[in-house]
A and B are shown apart, each in its own frame.
Chain A
Amino acid sequence: MAESITDDRPRVRGRVVVAFVLTRLGGALFVLWAVATLTFFALRLIPGDPALAILGGPGSQASPEALEAVRREYGLDQPLFVQYLTQLWRLMMGDLGRSYSLNMDVAPLVGVQLGGTMQLAFLSLALAWLLALGLATWSTRGGKIARSIGSGLEIVAAALPHFWLATVLILLFSIWLGVLPPISTPGIAGLVLPVLTLAIPLAGFLGQVMRESLLTALESPFVLSARARGESERGVRLVHAIRHAALPAISLSGWAFGSLISGAVVVETIFARPGLGRTLLNAVTERDVPVVVGVVMIVAVVYILMTLLTDVASRLADPRLRAA
Chain B
Amino acid sequence: MSDIEIQAGLGRASGGQSSHPEQRPQRAAGRPGVVEIISALFGLFLVVSALVPTLLAPGDPLGIDPLAAFTPPSAGHWFGTDESGRDIYTRVVHGTGSSLVIGIVATAIGLGLGILLGTAAGMLGRVVDFTVNRFLEVLFAFPGLLLALLFILIYGPGVATATVAVGLSTAPGYARIIRGQLISVRSSSFVEAATVQGLPRWRILVRHILPNTLAPLLVLGTLGIGQAIVWASALSYLGLGAAPPAPEWGAMLSAGRTYITSAWWMSFFPGLFIVLTAVCATTIGRSIERRMRHA
Direct contact of A and B (CB under 8 A): yes
Mark A residues whose CB is within 8 Å of B.
27, 30-32, 34-35, 38-39, 42-43, 45-46, 148, 152, 155-156, 158-164, 167-168, 170-171, 175, 205, 208-209, 212, 252, 255, 257-259, 261-263, 265-266, 269-270, 280-281, 284-285, 287, 289, 292, 296, 299-300, 303-304
Fill in one digit per residue for B219-253: 1 if any A CB lies within 8 Å of its CB, else 0.
00000001000100110011110000000001001
**Interface 1/0 per residue, B257-277 and A, CB below 8 Å:** 100110010011001101100
The verdict on B146 contacting chain A, using a C-beta distance below 8 Å, is yes
A289, B153: Cα distance in complex, Å:
8
Since A35-B141, A266-B238 are in contact, a sample of 7 more A-B pairs with Cβ atoms closer than 8 Å, ordered by chain A residue number, is A27-B137, A42-B150, A156-B275, A159-B275, A163-B233, A299-B142, A303-B141
Q: What's the least CB distance linking B289 to chain A, in Å?
A: 13
Q: Are A281 and B238 in contact (CB under 8 A)?
A: yes
CB within 8 A of A46: which of B144, B146, B153? B153
Residues in B neighbouring A152, C-beta threshold 8 A? 35
Using Cβ atoms and an 8 Å threshold, which residues of chain B touch A265?
Answer: 145, 149, 238
Are A262 and B279 in contact (CB-based, < 8 A)?
A: no
Chain A: CB-nearest residue to B35:
A152
A167–B268 touching, CB < 8 Å: yes
Output the least CB separation between A285 and chain B (Å).
7
Give a binary string over B142-162; 1 marks a CB under 8 Å from any A CB, 0 the rest: 111110011011100000000
The complex places the Cα of A156 from the Cα of B250 at a distance, in Å, of 18
Q: A160 contacts which chain B residues (CB < 8 A)?
A: 275
Q: Of B144, B226, B250, B278, which contacts A261 at CB under 8 A?
A: B144
Determine if B283 is an interface residue (Cβ-Cβ < 8 Å): yes
Q: Is B282 an interface residue (CB 8 A)?
A: yes
A155 and B282 within 8 A (CB): yes
Q: Is B128 an interface residue (CB 8 A)?
A: no
| A159 to B226 Cα, complex, angstroms | 8
- Residues of B contacting A: mostly: helix
Are A170's CB and B2's CB within 8 A? no
Tell me, in angstroms, the Cα distance from A235 to B268 when the chains sit together. Answer: 44
Q: Most chain-A Cβ atoms within 10 A of its Cβ — which of B260, B268, B283?
A: B260
Question: Residue B153 contacts which of A30, A252, A284, A303 (CB distance < 8 angstroms)?
Answer: A284
Q: B226 to chain A: which residues have CB within 8 Å?
A: 159
Please determine whether B150 and A296 come into contact, CB atoms closer than 8 angstroms: yes
Chain A residue nearest in CB terms to B236 = A163
A164, B149: Cα distance in complex, Å: 20
Give how many B residues have a beta carbon under 8 Å from the other chain's beta carbons: 48
Task: List, sorted by A's number, 17 A–B pairs whose CB atoms are closer than 8 Å.
Answer: A38-B138, A148-B35, A158-B282, A159-B275, A163-B253, A163-B271, A167-B260, A168-B271, A175-B261, A175-B264, A262-B144, A262-B145, A263-B145, A269-B238, A284-B152, A299-B146, A300-B142
Q: Which of A38, A156, A159, A162 has the most CB of B within 10 A?
A: A159
- CB < 8 Å neighbour of A205 from B5, B35, B233, B274: B5
Cα(A168)–Cα(B8), bound, Å: 26
A287 surroundings in chain B (CB, below 8 A): 153
Contact B153 A292 (CB under 8 A): yes
A212 to B286, CA, bound (A): 14
Q: Does B203 contact A (CB under 8 A)?
A: no
A46 touches B279 (CB 8 A): no
Report Cα–Cα, A252/B5, bound state, in Å: 10
Q: How far apart are A54's CB and chain B's nearest CB, in angstroms?
A: 15
Residues of B within 8 A of A34 (CB): 134-135, 138
Taking A269-B238, A284-B240 as contacts, is the C-beta distance between A155 and B279 under 8 angstroms? yes
Residues from chain A with Cβ under 8 Å of B272 in the complex: 164
Give the 10 A-B CB pairs with smallest separation, nearest first. Answer: A262-B144, A258-B143, A164-B271, A159-B278, A34-B138, A300-B141, A262-B145, A163-B237, A167-B267, A161-B230
B11 within 8 A of A: yes
The closest CB in chain A to the CB of B135 belongs to A34
Report the Cα distance A261→B146, complex, angstroms. Answer: 9
Q: Is the CB of A292 within 8 A of B143?
A: no
How far apart sit A27 and B137, CA to CA, in the bound complex (Å)?
9
Residue of B5, B134, B226, B282 with most partner-chain A CB within 10 A: B5
Q: Is the CB of A171 within 8 A of B153?
A: no
Give the complex CA separation of A259 and B142 in angstroms: 10
CB distance from B139 to the nearest CB of A (A): 8
| Bound-state Cα–Cα, A42 to B253, Å | 31
Residues of B within 8 A of A31 (CB): 134, 137-138, 141
A interface footprint on B1-37 (CB within 8 Å = 1, 0 otherwise): 0101100110100000000000000000000000100
CB distance from A219 to the nearest CB of B (A): 10
- Whether A164 touches B146, Cβ cut-off 8 Å, given contacts A156-B279, A304-B141, is no
Which residue of A is nearest B256, CB measured?
A167
In the complex, what distance in Å separates the CA atom of A42 from the CA atom of B147? 11
Q: Would you call A296 and B268 a contact (CB within 8 A)?
A: no
In the complex, A163→B268 CA distance in Å? Answer: 11
